[in-house]
Structure 1
Amino acid sequence: MTVDSGNELEQQIAEWRAYMRRRRELHTTDAEELEDHLRDRIAELTSAGLHADEAFLIAVKRMGSLDELSREFAREHSERLWKQLVLTGDDAGKPSSGNRRELFIMIAFAAVAALGIKAPALFGVSMEGGGTFYARNLGLFALAPLAAYFAWRRRLAPAVIGVLAALFAVGAAAVNAFPMAEDSQTIVLSAIHLPIALWLVVGVAYTGGDWRNDRRRMDFIRFTGEWFIYFVLIALGGGVLTAFTVGTFSAIGLDAETFVGTWLVPCGAMAAVVVAAWLVEAKQSVIENMAPVLTRVFTPLFTVTLVVLLGAIVWSSNGIDVERDVLIIFDLLLVVVLGLLLYAISARDPAAPAGIFDKVQLALVVTALVIDVLVLAAITGRITEFGFTANKTAALGENLVLLANLSWSAWLFFGFVRGRLPFGRLERWQTRYLVVYAAWAWIVVLAFPPLFAFA
């Protein structure tokens, strides 16, 4: 066994060990005994001539006959975390027929997504003259094919598919049937919150309908971060392609801007939603290495930024402006902080002791919490003085939702850093709080328009 394969094997065993220790049914001694069995079987298989990754996969699957938890681990993680036997050794670069079939089906779903954004043009609703139609329905166009792709990939039961379809139908009815004026606040809020609500509907499809499972929800959080990275990379590449397309066609006297604006960009963006999801599933190990690195780079940077911001607010004695654009900036900042926290949690070994990075994360959460309190104070003051509007009420609700999450997260993080609470408490809190985000997004989409007279 080479040094590299030995390191990879130890990493795989560490992930298996972390998974076992998260199970409440197992005591530490039980997990250690299972690990001893696993190592013995791996040693037997490697001595018989198998590669380390092959031996690990087979050993875990054989352990399933001894323990139900190990069998569950093998079933749910063999495809996601480790290459199947057909992708190892001499065949590592050769796609199997099953992989080719999945590739073609992904292309079909991506094509449906790309063409779907152009379908309204058949009914006279063009992108140039469609007003806010495309903005209101962007979440539907982008996420319905993605949900359908995961419904196929996870082999969802008809009942679950029916629930997902009903939720998409409710969202479509809300943003299109309500008589909202094109310059109203509620139409902007609906356009922003519907994609959030539907993304969590996609999460139900991603988890195979097992949304109540904490571990599956954490998998979806991990997927979200990885998907975002892939989508941004595709978007950057698409931007370069767009620039070259316009430039090269202009060089020969042809105007490609219309084609780029009405076909290439919108169709490419919709297809990229599905392609990025497929890449996460197919190339898991690449982004699993990249995303934690990015998290560790940007967490200290955002911590310093928030500390400096708080210092500037105290030094200048200036309150926070509550104009809509400013509120959006602060809310986006808090969302980015929450995203860093979520992905750092999802990529962390819960069995590892607290370290310096955990203390940096605690500082990030606390400073974000203080900023959220300042924003809430400013919003409350404006509402007291001028009354409620759709924008101010939505901002108030969103910052209260973030306040509750950040407050309890700070408490749990503080307990973990001091060695008084297990890290799993923080992990479970974050995964279960996703339901609150979904509920608030649906409230804004369904209740705000009639509540504020569609204004």
Structure 2
Amino acid sequence: MTVSDGQDELEAQFAQWRHYAGRRPELRQTDVAELEDHLRGSVDELIAVGLSPDEAFLVAVKRMGGLDELAREFAREHSERLWKQLVLTGDGDGPAADGHRRALLAVVLCAAGAAASVKLPGLFGLDLYQDGGFYLRNLSLFALPWLAALLAWRRKAGPALVATLAALFALGAVAANVYPLADDSQSAVLTGIHVPIALWLVIGLAYAADDVRSSRRHMDFIRFTGELLVYLALIACGGGVLILMISGTFKAIGIAPGEFIGQWLVPCGGVAAVVVAGWLVEAKQSVVENMAPVLARLFTPLFTAVLLAFIVAFGWSGTGIDVDRTALILFNVVLVVVLGLLLYSFSARDPEAPPGLFEKLQLALVVSALVIDVLVLLAITGRITEYGTSPNKAAALGENVILLANLVWSAWLLLGFVRRRTTFAALERWQTGYLPVYAAWAWIVALVFPPLFGYL
């Protein structure tokens, strides 16, 4: 290889690094240029002591450190950028300001589209309160397609993926509306629960549009989900204060704003909040620490203690588990929360860090949830054998079997990791690779269960 060829290859590596660094939302072009200048200086020094250009580049990048850490350092040094990034004021000129303005316009259009969607059925004579069953089954269809559109636009999704997203949302609309379901039927309730789950995992396709097969992108989507829930909770608190202010101030001057609040502010603001929360998570991604993993580390010891106490109490009392609909929902929620605590703890963990006390605590949590899952499965199976099946029992049975499979292998991998026989990457790949199983079951419940059980 000639000197010229080596220099060309080195410049190509610099260009690749510059392109990658330029995609970090925390780094301005001036920051990237500053880092590149530092990187070039290190490479020149290493070449001067006898390393080849390729070796010098790799060593210099390693010494500089990961871009994630560099980006956090820049964010801490220039904390005012966080607030500019969150509000996207669009002040100033140049490509960055133009990109902020385009992003803000996209958010406004998608949020307005979601708000308009929730009012659209009213043009066909449907009322939000008199036809509550219809709105509950279709609630996710008012908000999630617009969030998917925003994410697909940000990720520059290709036509094939956009067509796939549209087809899956159309399938969700069919599942929510094609069957003759009474509002108080079990199938209507199951549809109202499982269609949003199925469509939320469709959101995952839009989120990972730039690298659909990457397990890291799947874990990023899990983080995104937790952060979005945190932001939605904060927005809901702010919305509650806003409603109280509107109600109190307008009543003081003799105007009753109840109809406006009930018919416009709550439904339109609620679906638009999903889009806005998604945008907020995207805007501040990697700039400040994520809240969901912090909450997971806080609540993992508490939930472990509660589940262990339940198992001890169950063994002491000797009574069985009452598996009515409320109890089934409660136990499934407990298992999903355990899974969420596991996922968000994983998402914030350094993959290279050795196992410690917290991983042993996670193992105790998973084993406790596994014992409870087996007890619930035995109770459901006994009730089905004695009284026959129903949509609720069949759905609960399937969900507990799916969670059982996840928990069993998670416990095995965690045990291996604690004993230093399994890598953390195996745990992460298992959890992200299992996401399609949840999606498949949600579609089965929404599409197959209603006719299978005679629309009960």
TM-score, normalised to structure 2, is 0.81
Whole-angstrom CA distance in 1 between matches of 2:38 and 2:322:
60
Whole-angstrom CA distance in 2 between matches of 1:249 and 1:287:
38
Whole-angstrom CA distance in 2 between matches of 1:380 and 1:110:
45
Describe the shift of the 1:66–1:273 C-alpha distance in structure 2 as closer, same or farther (beyond 3 A).
farther
Moved more, 53-62 or 230-239: 53-62
One-letter identity of the residue aligned with 1:295:
A
Moved over 6 A (4+): 50-54, 57-63, 67-70, 77-81, 83-88
Preserved CA contact (<8 Å) 2:227 2:290: no
CA deviations 1:81-104 (Å, max 9, x no partner) are 938999986984575231122112
1:60 Cα offset (Å): 8.0
Summarize the alignment of residues 207-222 of structure 1 with structure 2, pairs less than 5 Å apart.
Answer: 207-208=208-209, 210-222=211-223
Whole-angstrom CA distance in 2 between matches of 1:80 and 1:241:
38
Larger radius of gyration: 2
Whole-angstrom CA distance in 1 between matches of 2:107 and 2:36:
27
Aligned to 1:174: 175
Asked if 1:291 corresponds to 2:280, the answer is: no
Preserved CA contact (<8 Å) 2:112 2:272: yes
Describe the shift of the 1:232–1:368 C-alpha distance in structure 2 as closer, same or farther (beyond 3 A).
same
Whole-angstrom CA distance in 2 between matches of 1:225 and 1:153:
20
Preserved CA contact (<8 Å) 1:164 1:201: yes
Aligned to 2:376: 375
Asked if 1:254 corresponds to 2:255, the answer is: yes
Aligned to 1:142: 143
Whole-angstrom CA distance in 2 between matches of 1:417 and 1:340:
18
Preserved CA contact (<8 Å) 1:78 1:84: no
Aligned to 1:165: 166
Asked if 1:125 corresponds to 2:114, the answer is: no
Aligned to 1:236: 237
Aligned to 1:392: 393
One-letter identity of the residue aligned with 1:349:
D
Summarize the alignment of residues 66-85 of structure 1 with structure 2, pairs less than 5 Å apart.
Answer: 82=71
Asked if 1:449 corresponds to 2:438, the answer is: no
1:287 Cα offset (Å): 5.5
Summarize the alignment of residues 95-114 of structure 1 with structure 2, pairs less than 5 Å apart.
Answer: 95=90, 96-114=97-115
Equivalent position SS for 2:434: helix
Aligned to 2:312: 311
1:230 Cα offset (Å): 1.0
Whole-angstrom CA distance in 1 between matches of 2:213 and 2:58:
18
Whole-angstrom CA distance in 1 between matches of 2:70 and 2:282:
10
Preserved CA contact (<8 Å) 1:81 1:285: no
CA deviations 1:79-134 (Å, max 9, x no partner) are 99938999986984575231122112111111111121111111111102224110
One-letter identity of the residue aligned with 2:422:
L
Aligned to 1:17: none
- CA RMSD of the aligned region, Å? 3.3
Whole-angstrom CA distance in 2 between matches of 1:101 and 1:313:
57
Preserved CA contact (<8 Å) 2:226 2:292: yes
Whole-angstrom CA distance in 2 between matches of 1:233 and 1:60:
41
Whole-angstrom CA distance in 2 between matches of 1:377 and 1:58:
64
CA deviations 1:276-313 (Å, max 9, x no partner) are 11111111246534333211111111111111111221
Whole-angstrom CA distance in 1 between matches of 2:79 and 2:417:
45
Preserved CA contact (<8 Å) 2:72 2:287: no
Describe the shift of the 1:79–1:424 C-alpha distance in structure 2 as closer, same or farther (beyond 3 A).
closer
1:428 Cα offset (Å): 0.3
1:53 Cα offset (Å): 8.2
One-letter identity of the residue aligned with 2:338:
V
Report how many aligned residue pairs link the two structures: 404
Aligned to 1:347: 348
Equivalent position SS for 2:289: helix
1:326 Cα offset (Å): 1.0
Aligned to 1:407: 408
Equivalent position SS for 1:82: helix
Describe the shift of the 1:59–1:339 C-alpha distance in structure 2 as closer, same or farther (beyond 3 A).
farther
